[in-house]
Amino acid sequence: MKDPDGATKEFASSFKRFIDAMNAEAAKETSPLLERLRAHLGGDPGRMPIVSEDYDNYEHPNVQVALDKVLYSEGRTADLVGISVPNKRWQQFAFSDLLAPSNPYGRISEGPVDYVNFHLEGERTLACVQYGLFFVTAGSDRLAVFVVGPPTLEMGRGNRMRVEVACSRREAALALLKDLTAAAKDLNVYRGKAISLAPGQYGVQSLVKFHRLPTIARDEIVLPDGVLERIEQHAIRFSDHAAALLAAKRSLKRGILLYGPPGTGKTLTVMYLASQMTGRTLIITTGLGMGALGTIGQFARVLAPATVVVEDVDLIAQERGMPGMPSQPLLFELLNQLDGLADDADVLFILTTNRPDILEPALAARPGRVDLVAELPLPNAAGRAKLLSLYARGLKHEGVDFARYVEKTDGASPAYIKELLRKSALLAAIEGAKAVTTAHLDAAMEELAAGGELAKRIVGFGTGGLPLGPMGPMRPAGFPTVEVRSRTPQ
């Protein structure tokens, strides 16, 4: 259709002029928060240089303690305010986006500071800024520090947190970020604690959990002669003499493999070592946490001296080429972490397994991966006598000949013996008896065996030794000859 008079073209030009005028007026609009930023920074906030630093989500509490120290020390002062932006929890924006004249997110204004609680060890809770803006004064410099915490929901902006600093002097902003990063490392809330790491929901967030481990006395570890001593030497004594070893140009990274049937004390031995090696960070890896081995390796490097425990390592370290077992990326990640540590990093890897026969030989291909292999077998008669005496502590008993149960528990694990005495105490309590008797112990044994062979194996009776192959018990293939031969004669 023709437009002989050019009316359509004229209308389009007029409409464009109208939109341009509206945008120009909108650009003039401001808010008290923007005016405060302008006055504080001494110029147009939208034209200030901004430098930023991203941190992994688990660093949020470390960044918070760094902010608390750096922004309020060495002559610095800070005032914290919140930012109100429509749908801010679902938006992906930077500080510069909010300050731009054509800000698509709407006019920013001051609002409440958003916090998220981070649970530390014990009952301690640290309130971390999730969305907030600090007005910082540092001598003659005026800075604005914008903090956006890691996502608490799946929002598409990754799982990292961000700190952005605006200042008329870019060098001052860079210096402040450098101080924050250094303080976050020095004040790390995980250092010296027992923690575990697992991926969060939807893979958005890695969850760090603190653990309070019981103190295990040495006499609570019942192993054949020489086994615990060798483990202590490779774990505890190694760290005690770290300075001398470094002076002799010896590497501090090392690995221990503990193997044996279920319930023979592998986890208990780990907890004993942790209680003896005070001041070390203990990183426990099991289950879903095995998917975070790369992050765990970073933790170990930063928090050294550290001990990394990988329980049931056979779940990720099955021998390549086994029928139905393709190459496992997690195994390669574990090998990379074992190899990638610096020689002066005092990091101890402790691996545990009930199935040493299926482990990948490359775990022990060279020193620094696995240097000591220790078998924790089912206890012999002397060991079972010690265990019965140990677990009977504090238990009122009458007329019980524990020597009789040394023979009756042949083939039982320490875990089974502990459960046997606990169940006998329960039966005595139910009956209203003042002491445990032989009848209670016999009844407890019958109950533990009531489910048949499977039930006995679950509680640690008759778990047997190592899996049998055509030539006898199958031990870890390709592992060092320093293996502790730990089964003693009956």
**Which residue ranges make up each domain of the chain?**
23-186, 209-375, 381-458
Burial (CB count within 10 angstroms: exposed 0-12, middle 13-18, buried 19+), residue 342: exposed
Question: 3-class SS at 76?
Answer: strand
Q: Torsion angle of alpha carbons 280, 286, 290, 292, nearest 10°?
A: -50
The model carries a pTM of 0.79
271 pLDDT above the threshold of 70: yes
DSSP structure string for 402-413:
HHHHHHHTTTB-
Distance, in Å, from the CA atom of 179 to the CA atom of 262, rounded to the nearest integer, reads 49
Domain 209-375 has CATH 3.40.50.300: yes
User: pLDDT at position 454, please?
Assistant: 62
Region of residue 212 (left: phi > 0; alpha: psi -120 to 50; beta: else): beta
Q: Tell me the per-residue pLDDT of 337-385, one tens digit each, with 9 for 90 and over.
A: 777 667 778 889 898 988 888 777 777 656 667 889 999 999 999 999 9
Q: Could you tell me which of 296, 300, 291 has the C-alpha nearest to residue 330?
A: 291
Distance, in Å, from the CA atom of 352 to the CA atom of 310, rounded to the nearest integer, reads 7
Contact 378, 411 (CB under 8 A): yes
Distance, in Å, from the CA atom of 443 to the CA atom of 440, rounded to the nearest integer, reads 5
167 pLDDT above the threshold of 50: yes
What is the average pLDDT score of the chain?
81
When mean pLDDT is compared across 1-5, 266-270, 411-415, the lowest value belongs to: 1-5
pLDDT tier for residue 331 given thresholds of 50, 70 and 90 = low
pLDDT tier for residue 327 given thresholds of 50, 70 and 90 = low
pLDDT tier for residue 392 given thresholds of 50, 70 and 90 = very high
Two tokens, residue 1: 């259709």
pLDDT tier for residue 251 given thresholds of 50, 70 and 90 = confident
Q: What is the mean pLDDT of residues 58-62?
A: 93
Q: Residue type for 253, please?
A: K
32 pLDDT above the threshold of 80: yes
| φ/ψ of residue 42, rounded to 5 | 75, 30
User: pLDDT at position 182, please?
Assistant: 96
Q: Could you tell me which of 71, 94, 83 has the C-alpha nearest to residue 33?
A: 83
Q: Residue type for 154, please?
A: E
Q: How far is CA 441 from the centre of its chain?
A: 41
- Residue 304: which H helix or E strand, with range? none
Q: Tell me the per-residue pLDDT of 117-149, one tens digit each, with 9 for 90 and over.
A: 998 888 899 999 999 999 999 999 999 999 998
Q: Could you tell me which of 156, 157, 176 has the C-alpha nearest to residue 166?
A: 176
Please name the residues in contact with 427: beta carbons below 8 A apart, sequence gap of 6 or more: 440, 443, 444, 447
Share of the chain above pLDDT 70, in %: 73
Tell me the residue length of the chain.
490
Distance, in Å, from the CA atom of 273 to the CA atom of 306, rounded to the nearest integer, reads 12
470 pLDDT above the threshold of 50: no
User: pLDDT at position 282, please?
Assistant: 95
Q: What fold characterizes domain 381-458? A: Helicase, Ruva Protein; domain 3 (1.10.8)
Please name the residues in contact with 294: beta carbons below 8 A apart, sequence gap of 6 or more: 333, 337
Contact 353, 257 (CB under 8 A): yes
- Give the CA angle between residues 332, 359, 289 to the nearest 5°: 55
Q: Tell me the per-residue pLDDT of 194-217, one tens digit each, with 9 for 90 and over.
A: 998 866 544 444 578 899 889 999
464 pLDDT above the threshold of 70: no
Contact 110, 33 (CB under 8 A): yes
Two tokens, residue 96: 């510069």
Share of the chain above pLDDT 90, in %: 49
User: pLDDT at position 457, please?
Assistant: 67
Cα 168 to Cα 43, 47, 188, 417: the distances in Å are 8, 9, 31, 71
Of residues 449 and 163, more confidence is placed in: 163
Q: What is the mean pLDDT of residues 393-411?
A: 93
Of residues 217 and 473, more confidence is placed in: 217
